[in-house]
C-alpha cells in the first residue's frame, strides 16, 4: 500500500507519490511527480496477480503502439514509462484533470446541455475511430475511464 511521499524507482527516474487518486479492480492510481522536475504524473500500480500482470502487459503494448500515432490528435492518454516496483507493475501516464464521471458527479448528476455533450461525443468518437483503424477494441469504456484535459473546454482523453 503506497502512501504520500513513498518513492518508486525505475531505471530512468525516481517518482514521489503525492496522493491516492483511485482504487480499481486491478490496482490503484496515485498522483506523483518525477523527483527534481515536479512533472506531475498519474501512476497506475497494478496488483501482482496473473490476470493483472497480463492486463498490464496488454495495456502497455497497446499504449506503446498508440504513442507512435500522435496520441494528442485523437485524444488518447500518453504513457511515459512501465516498470516493476516491489513486484507490482507500474505504468506512468500524463496527469490529466478529472474523469468524466467525477465531472458529472461534481455537477450533482444534473444533465449536460447538448453544446457540452457534442464535443465530448466527438472526441470519444475520434479516439474510438483511431482505435478501430488500428484493430484495437476498447473493452472498458465508461465515464470513469474518460479523462478530461480541460473541463472549461470539455477536451478529453
DSSP string, 32-47: EEETTT--EEEEEEE-
What was the pLDDT predicted at 2? Answer: 73
Q: Say what the pTM is.
A: 0.85
**Are 100 and 120 spatial neighbours (Cβ–Cβ below 8 Å)?**
yes
Of the ranges 1-5, 18-22, 78-82, which one carries the lowest mean pLDDT score?
A: 1-5
Which residue in the list 72, 97, 140, 150 is annotated as catalytic?
Answer: 140
Q: How many CB atoms sit inside 10 A of residue 94's CB?
A: 17
Chain centroid offset of residue 120 CA: 17
Containing H/E element for 149?
strand 147-150
- Establish whether 54 is an annotated binding residue: yes
Q: What domains can be seen in the chain, in order of their start residue? A: 7-94 (3.30.200.20), 98-156 (no CATH)
Concerning whether 140 is annotated as a catalytic residue, the answer is yes
Instruction: Place 153 in a pLDDT band, splitting at 50, 70 and 90.
Output: low
pLDDT digits (tens, 9 = 90+) for 13-72: 999 999 999 888 888 999 999 999 989 999 999 988 888 888 889 999 999 999 888 888
Amino acid at each position: 500500500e503506497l502512501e504520500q511521499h513513498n518513492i518508486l524507482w525505475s531505471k530512468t527516474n525516481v517518482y514521489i507519490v503525492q496522493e491516492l487518486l483511485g482504487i480499481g479492480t486491478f490496482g490503484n492510481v496515485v498522483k506523483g511527480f518525477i523527483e527534481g522536475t515536479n512533472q506531475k504524473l498519474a501512476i497506475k500500480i497494478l496488483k501482482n496477480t496473473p490476470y493483472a500482470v497480463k492486463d498490464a502487459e496488454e495495456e502497455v503494448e497497446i499504449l506503446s503502439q498508440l504513442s507512435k500515432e500522435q496520441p494528442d490528435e485523437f485524444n488518447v492518454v500518453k504513457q511515459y514509462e512501465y516498470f516493476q516496483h516491489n513486484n507490482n507493475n507500474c505504468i506512468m501516464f500524463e496527469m490529466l484533470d478529472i474523469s468524466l464521471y467525477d465531472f458529472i458527479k461534481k455537477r450533482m448528476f444534473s444533465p449536460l446541455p447538448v453544446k457540452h455533450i457534442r464535443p465530448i461525443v466527438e472526441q470519444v468518437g475520434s479516439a474510438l475511430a483511431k482505435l478501430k483503424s488500428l484493430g484495437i477494441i476498447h473493452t472498458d469504456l465508461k465515464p470513469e475511464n474518460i479523462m478530461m484535459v480541460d473541463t472549461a473546454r470539455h477536451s478529453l482523453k
